[in-house]
Structure 1
Amino acid sequence: MRFLITIMVLMFALTLGAQPNPAKKAQKFADEMTEVLSLSKEESKAIYQIQLDRFKENQAIQKEYAGDPEIIKEKQKELGNKVYNQVKNVIGVERQKQWKAYKSKTK
């Protein structure tokens, strides 16, 4: 019985540890975009904040609509459109095209 409880606790801990940290993901994203597009400090901070909000909101969507993949897909599409427009407002259309081209090459 103890063994079973230990296994369950370890699995739970691994599940929690596997949850991505939104702040780290947002920082990694902002750092990469800053390097590729030579963003200013202000632009980089704005991109970080947009991405942090995005990752947190995405986690909330996943949690709230767990078990309903259609709604998750719809909500994520809405979120993606919102983020796209926010990023466009920070870096402009031309640099957004450069970013898209860069991401296409690195996939």
Structure 2
Amino acid sequence: MNHTLIKIKRLLLKGTYEFRLSADIQLANDGLIRDDAIESILNADYMRMKNSTSKDKLKPKEKVCIVESFTYDGILMYTKGVIRELRDKESFYIIISAKRATFGGE
């Protein structure tokens, strides 16, 4: 398992994460809740990363973590987020996107 995915799972278990409004809206539109997104990430065995294209990124080469995995109810979910560091070096995970996934893409 990827060391970044392990770090994300540990951040989630510690409660050091937040959901962006966009993720909350996507979840609501799909009839899902935050716990579904957390569950799917904790169940994941792999993830992929890509360069962020967001104007809100904090560093030029910030990476976005993309996880597609199932909830305990068998719902395939797509989540996208970034790991950020605070001034005191405490990391947290920001969930930018969380929705039902379709096979073969977003």
| Same structural fold, with TM-score higher than 0.5 when normalized by the shorter chain | no
The answer to which structure has the higher strand fraction is 2
Structure with higher RCO (Cα < 8 A, 6+ apart): 2
Q: TM-score, normalised by structure 1?
A: 0.30
The answer to which structure has the higher helix fraction is 1
Of structures 1 and 2, the larger Rg is shown by 1
